[in-house]
Structure formats: C-alpha cells, structure tokens
Chains A and B, each alone.
Chain A
C-alpha cells in the first residue's frame, strides 16, 4: 500500500489508469491484446504522440499552442502541392517533406515571436494563427483534397515496417528520445523548466527568456510539421481539414500525463503515456463497440478525473 502511495505521489495516477484499462479491455475483448492490434494502437498513437511532444514544450514554458490543428492541415496541403508538381518521386518526396515541415516551423516562429517579443497571451496568438493556417490551407487547395501523390509516400512513411515495427512508430520513438535528451541533458531543457516555473526569476538569473520562449514554439511548429507529413502519408492525400482535433487532444494528453498547465513541471515520458492512454481508450472502446456518443462522455470525464487526481497528488506531495 505504502509502495503504491509512493508511486502515485511520484508519477501520478496515469500508470494505475493504464494498467487498469489494459486489464479491463483484455478481459472484455480477447482481440485487444493480439499482436496485430498492439501494432495498430502503436501506429495510431504516433501522430498524437509527436504533436503532444511539441505541445508539451510550450506548456512547460507556461503557454500552449492551439494552432497545431490546422498547422497540420497547412503542412499537408503544402507537402502534397509540392509533391504533385515535381515529376521524380524521390525528389518530390524530399522537397515536399522539407516544404511542409518548413511551413509549420514558420508558423511556430510567427507564434513564438509574437508571444515572446510582444508578450501577447498564447491563447489569443495561437487561436488567431489557427484561423490563419486553416484559411491558407483552404485558399491554396480551394478546399479540395489533393491526390495522385507519389506511391512511396504511403508505402514507406504510412504503411512501411522496419524489423516488423511500423515506420511511424520508429519516427515517434526517435523524436521522443531526442526531446527527452533535450529536456533532461541540455541547458536549453533546463531553461524551459526554469522560465515556465518562474519567468521573473529566470530572467533575473540571466536566461534570455524571450529567445527560449520563442524557441519552444518554433520546436513545437517543427514537430507539428513532422506530424502533418506523417498524417499526409497515412491518408495518401493532401487534406485541408486534417488534424482539427489535435490541439485539444494534445493538451489533454500532456495534462493527463502530468504536465502542469501552469508551466515548469512535467516529463516527456508522462506526456507520451498520456497520448498512449487516449488512443488506447478509443481503440479499446471501439473494440468493445461502445457507442461513439458515450465515448465522448467517457473521454471528457477521464480528462477531468486525471487533473483532479493530479491536484490531489500535489497536495499529498506538499505534506
């Protein structure tokens, strides 16, 4: 009991939830634990996981990024526009991917500069940017999906496998490892925590607060761009409405994973497990054939429950 309590105080309610859910789903539906479903869940998680990694960086700096949703759509449109306009498939893919990730990084840079330099609330800036990105995606594409993409995009980045592991999972793992290194082993990572925890103290101790705040949004933009490219590969077409639910889902995943919305606290591993939890819940409930209406209710309750438990944990820690 004491051990459980210590685990709870240290890492929060998430591990308990995940274990309980996996037990529940495997009892209710034997297909849940099948290898093909586990790979399926793995692949479905990657997209949310990569965005959540980016989202987590902005939350660490006491902000968040709502623009990730249609930034993914804009990336998808730019990537596919470039790809269909170049004849050679390999060149087309390289240029398309670079253009897509570059676009999302620029969106992140615009967010970062506006928030850090002009000190405008991240809510307003990224909400505005959400609209700008969606408008641009619709303008460029006239609202119509772009198809006839190079075959390889889907067969490699969407469905491909290396050593039996889906390529998207490998990409996500690499990104998580890099962000983990950045946050726990580099000065930049420490600065993110510091300026999220107490901006004024960070400034007084000589951290270039503006620069690092902006950097968090730029990195978030880049990761969003990677997600956009990966999702485009998954659906094998440029879609002007892709990723609309990602902003709220990625914030939810990070918060469920113990990242504090006040900034300065949380770990990448927790955030990723938050994403895994959300996708696993959906998959398990789909497999159990729970009504799509009820699923929405359950997901909402889960988010609130996780945050309440987190408050409870903080008060236990304080004692």
Chain B
C-alpha cells in the first residue's frame, strides 16, 4: 500500500517534471528561433518533366499531401551551399535572402550568394551558376530567371553529382534535385476565395484585375487561379477588365487611374502587390467607397495597409519559410536522404490569406524577416 502510494506520488512528480521540461524546452526552442512545424503541401514520387505544365505541379508527382515540415536535426558536415538569385533589389528577394541566411546559420552551413541583377540577365545568371560550381560548393540553391533557360547548366552540374534545389520560381530542368516553392496559381485561387467569401449574398460582382507583366512566369497564373476559384460563386462575377503591366509603381498607378475613370462602379480591384499598394492613394482621393482592394501576394508596404484596412486581403507565399525550406532540403540531400522518398521532392508552405482580422497571427518578421535585416551574400560554415 505504502509502496503503491509512494509509487503514485513519484509518478505525479515525474509527470509534472516532464511537463515542465517539455514546456521549458519548447520555450527555449522558441527563443532560439524555432519556426517549424509549418503546414505544407508536399509532393512525393519521381519527377518526370514530360507530364508537366508551367505553373502547375508536375503530374507525375503524388500530391499534394498536407503534412508538417520539420527541418533536419543537423548538417552532418559544415557544407557550403551556393545560392543564385535573379536579383536582390526588392523586399521580396530580401525576405528569401533572410530565410536562407538564417536557416544556414542555424544549421551551421555556409552560404555563397550571387545575384544576377534582374529578370533580363539570364546569360549572366548562367555564368554565375557555373562560377559557383567552379568554387566547388556542395550544392546550389537556384531562384531561376527563366523556366527553361537554365536547364542545360542544371543538367551539367547535377551530372557532376552536385545537387540543385530550386526555390521560389518554378523551373523545368528534368534533372533538378528538389523544389521548394508555392504556385502562383494557388495565390490567385486564394485571392478568388477571399472575394467569394467577402461577396457572399451578392448577385453581381464587378472586378478589375491587374495581374502584372504579361508573359511573366507568375502573373498569368494568378489570373488563371482566380478565375478557377470564382467558378463556384453562386452569383455572377463580372471581370470588367484585365490590365497587364510591369510591376513598376508608376506603370500600375496609371493603369489604376485609368480603370477608375473608365468604370464608375467597381467592387473589387484585384492585382499584383505593387498595384494594390499603388491603388490605395487614388481610391481614397477619389472617394471611391465602392472599391475594395485585394492583392495576389504580399510585400512589406501592404502590411500596414492591411492593418489599417486600406487593403482588404493578400495571400502570403511565406517567402522566408520557402528560403528556410530550400536550405533544409539541400542539407537533407547532402546528408544522404533521397528527395521524393525520405522527404518531399517538392514542397511549399500552405498559403494563408492575410486580412485585417488575421494579420495579428502573422507578425511582420515571420512574413518578411526582421525590419533591420540587410542583404547578406556570405555566411561562413560552422564547425
């Protein structure tokens, strides 16, 4: 009896201690910058490019499967990873830069990053990727300028046994080792879902859509995704106009001003983040209370505008997380794990839609990294 009593007390004490320990370690991990687990769409299986359409995940892969992303425990060796970006001159790629750099530091791997200088610099990016390979990096993380233009250089590098993981942008490259990305089709779909939800009960909804640059790898996908989402709307969605244009603020501003002049009644002005950012001014100035602004993705200037309710909603592709996942993938590959089998061949965080109601769940740092972060081209490998 006494024995039993003692046993039960010991058990309670032990349980309490264990609970404290778990809570403590969780709190400690949080302090150390734990960003996982993150819910992701995962694709397993073999990547066969012949059954693939741009903007959509490869049809030969199994998925999407919703699961939690857990980073590798450690890097078996202090690897050095080469990183090639299209450019590093706006907050979007700066956030990816932060994701990659912070995760590399956490895992103790080195980073050597190059930026080509813009989406017209394909030839330069090919040179830079070759130069990274010359430096004998263990693997390369690639944010490619073109869907197909880097296929040969990826083929050359992977043939020599150096893995290449694509981040953010999609790439055809039949020999690519893994992909960490979300599709902009899904981003447009989420924007569409928000509109459907927000316009519940209305019979007729008038929309002006500003996707971004015609012929880019992502803007047409947002429009396709949006159109797919609104198919389920019981009322009528009337797309008054689709206005293409480069994502410079001056270009978008002109398109918006002209659209506001042309259409006396617009329910939703939907478009790329630069357009959403630029639209706030003219919409307020002209007292257009009818117009709600929705973005297809989020950039830092939109954060405060959503908080103030000037922009109604923006899905986030969690670029910081994508950068972190790309480093995780590369470390797993270099540790000897097999993509498509031991972990997803392709994975991307599940897209949240940021609105005035939900924004407090998504702190600024989580979406874009700390405000004080400056571009970083180099991280020394740890011991």
Is the Cβ of B148 less than 8 Å from the Cβ of A236? Answer: yes
Is the Cβ of B131 less than 8 Å from the Cβ of A234? Answer: no
Q: How far is the CA of A279 from the CA of B130 in the complex (A)?
A: 13
Is the Cβ of A243 less than 8 Å from the Cβ of B114? Answer: no
Judged by a CB distance under 8 angstroms, whether B127 is at the interface is: yes
Residues of A near B375 (CB, < 8 A) are 291, 293
Q: How far is the CA of A286 from the CA of B114 in the complex (A)?
A: 8
Judged by a CB distance under 8 angstroms, whether A128 is at the interface is: no
Q: How far is the CA of A245 from the CA of B150 in the complex (A)?
A: 18
Contact of A40 among B124, B131, B149 (CB under 8 A): B131
Is the Cβ of A245 less than 8 Å from the Cβ of B121? Answer: yes
Contact of B378 among A142, A154, A244, A289 (CB under 8 A): A289
Is the Cβ of B135 less than 8 Å from the Cβ of A289? Answer: yes
Closest Cβ neighbor of B110 among chain A residues: A289
Judged by a CB distance under 8 angstroms, whether A47 is at the interface is: yes
Judged by a CB distance under 8 angstroms, whether A287 is at the interface is: yes
Judged by a CB distance under 8 angstroms, whether B134 is at the interface is: yes
Q: How far is the CA of A286 from the CA of B140 in the complex (A)?
A: 14
Chain A interface size range: 35 or more
> Would A244 and B152 be within 8 Å (CB), given that A144-B215, A292-B114 are in contact?
no
Smallest CB separation, A79 vs chain B (Å)? 14
Is the Cβ of A286 less than 8 Å from the Cβ of B126? Answer: no
Q: How far is the CA of A235 from the CA of B135 in the complex (A)?
A: 21
Judged by a CB distance under 8 angstroms, whether B281 is at the interface is: no
Q: How far is the CA of A241 from the CA of B117 in the complex (A)?
A: 13
Contact of B127 among A138, A144, A239, A282 (CB under 8 A): A282
Closest Cβ neighbor of B115 among chain A residues: A292
Residues of A near B88 (CB, < 8 A) are 292-293
Judged by a CB distance under 8 angstroms, whether A304 is at the interface is: no
Contact of B152 among A40, A142, A159, A287 (CB under 8 A): A159
The 0/1 profile, CB within 8 Å of B marked 1, for residues 27-52 of chain A is 00101001011001000100100000
The 0/1 profile, CB within 8 Å of A marked 1, for residues 202-242 of chain B is 00000000000111100000000000000000000000000
Is the Cβ of B126 less than 8 Å from the Cβ of A31? Answer: no
Is the Cβ of A36 less than 8 Å from the Cβ of B146? Answer: no
Is the Cβ of B151 less than 8 Å from the Cβ of A237? Answer: yes
Q: How far is the CA of A240 from the CA of B132 in the complex (A)?
A: 25
Closest Cβ neighbor of A155 among chain B residues: B152
The 0/1 profile, CB within 8 Å of B marked 1, for residues 286-317 of chain A is 11010111001000000000000000000000
Is the Cβ of B215 less than 8 Å from the Cβ of A142? Answer: yes
Smallest CB separation, B138 vs chain A (Å)? 15
Contact of B131 among A138, A147, A286, A291 (CB under 8 A): A286
Is the Cβ of A292 less than 8 Å from the Cβ of B117? Answer: yes
Is the Cβ of B146 less than 8 Å from the Cβ of A145? Answer: yes
Judged by a CB distance under 8 angstroms, whether A158 is at the interface is: yes
Smallest CB separation, B110 vs chain A (Å)? 10
> Would A138 and B215 be within 8 Å (CB), given that A244-B120, A244-B121 are in contact?
yes
Is the Cβ of A237 less than 8 Å from the Cβ of B148? Answer: yes
Is the Cβ of A245 less than 8 Å from the Cβ of B149? Answer: no
Judged by a CB distance under 8 angstroms, whether B136 is at the interface is: yes
Residues of A near B150 (CB, < 8 A) are 235
Is the Cβ of A235 less than 8 Å from the Cβ of B126? Answer: yes
**Which residues 73-94 of B have a CB within 8 angstroms of A?**
88
> Would A154 and B152 be within 8 Å (CB), given that A234-B126, A292-B88 are in contact?
yes
Residues of B near A159 (CB, < 8 A) are 152, 156
Q: How far is the CA of A203 from the CA of B326 in the complex (A)?
A: 64
Is the Cβ of B146 less than 8 Å from the Cβ of A239? Answer: yes
Residues of B near A235 (CB, < 8 A) are 122-123, 126, 146, 148-152
Q: How far is the CA of A243 from the CA of B116 in the complex (A)?
A: 13
Judged by a CB distance under 8 angstroms, whether A226 is at the interface is: no
Is the Cβ of B135 less than 8 Å from the Cβ of A234? Answer: no
Q: How many A-B residue pairs have CB under 8 A?
A: 106
Is the Cβ of A37 less than 8 Å from the Cβ of B134? Answer: yes
Contact of A236 among B117, B132, B151, B213 (CB under 8 A): B151
Q: How far is the CA of A34 from the CA of B135 in the complex (A)?
A: 11
Q: How far is the CA of A254 from the CA of B274 in the complex (A)?
A: 39
Is the Cβ of A141 less than 8 Å from the Cβ of B215? Answer: yes
Is the Cβ of B152 less than 8 Å from the Cβ of A240? Answer: no
> Would A158 and B152 be within 8 Å (CB), given that A243-B123, A286-B128, A289-B378 are in contact?
yes
Smallest CB separation, A285 vs chain B (Å)? 9
Q: How far is the CA of A47 from the CA of B215 in the complex (A)?
A: 26
Q: How far is the CA of A241 from the CA of B147 in the complex (A)?
A: 13
Closest Cβ neighbor of A237 among chain B residues: B148
Judged by a CB distance under 8 angstroms, whether B265 is at the interface is: no
Q: How far is the CA of A286 from the CA of B377 in the complex (A)?
A: 11
Residues of A near B130 (CB, < 8 A) are 40, 44
Closest Cβ neighbor of B150 among chain A residues: A235
Is the Cβ of B134 less than 8 Å from the Cβ of A31? Answer: yes
Q: How far is the CA of A44 from the CA of B125 in the complex (A)?
A: 11
Residues of A near B126 (CB, < 8 A) are 234-235
Judged by a CB distance under 8 angstroms, whether B35 is at the interface is: no
Is the Cβ of A240 less than 8 Å from the Cβ of B215? Answer: yes
Judged by a CB distance under 8 angstroms, whether A102 is at the interface is: no
- Most chain B Cβ neighbours within 10 Å, of A142, A145, A296: A145
Judged by a CB distance under 8 angstroms, whether A283 is at the interface is: yes
Judged by a CB distance under 8 angstroms, whether A167 is at the interface is: no
Smallest CB separation, B58 vs chain A (Å)? 15
Smallest CB separation, A45 vs chain B (Å)? 10
Smallest CB separation, B251 vs chain A (Å)? 15
Residues of A near B136 (CB, < 8 A) are 31
Judged by a CB distance under 8 angstroms, whether B172 is at the interface is: yes
Q: How far is the CA of A108 from the CA of B120 in the complex (A)?
A: 22
Closest Cβ neighbor of A284 among chain B residues: B131
Closest 10 CB pairs of A and B: A143-B215, A244-B120, A286-B131, A235-B149, A237-B148, A147-B148, A292-B115, A241-B120, A291-B377, A236-B152
A245-B124, A293-B377 given. 9 additional CB < 8 A pairs? Answer: A147-B147, A147-B151, A234-B126, A235-B123, A241-B122, A244-B120, A286-B131, A292-B113, A293-B88
| Chain A residues within 8 Å of B, Cβ to Cβ | 29, 31, 34, 36-37, 40, 44, 47, 138, 141-145, 147, 154, 158-159, 231, 234-237, 239-245, 279, 282-283, 286-287, 289, 291-293, 296
A-B contact pairs, 30 of them (CB 8 A): A31-B135, A141-B215, A142-B214, A143-B213, A145-B148, A158-B152, A234-B126, A234-B152, A235-B146, A235-B150, A236-B148, A236-B152, A237-B148, A239-B146, A242-B123, A243-B123, A244-B120, A244-B121, A245-B117, A245-B123, A279-B127, A286-B114, A286-B135, A287-B131, A287-B135, A289-B135, A291-B377, A292-B116, A292-B377, A293-B88
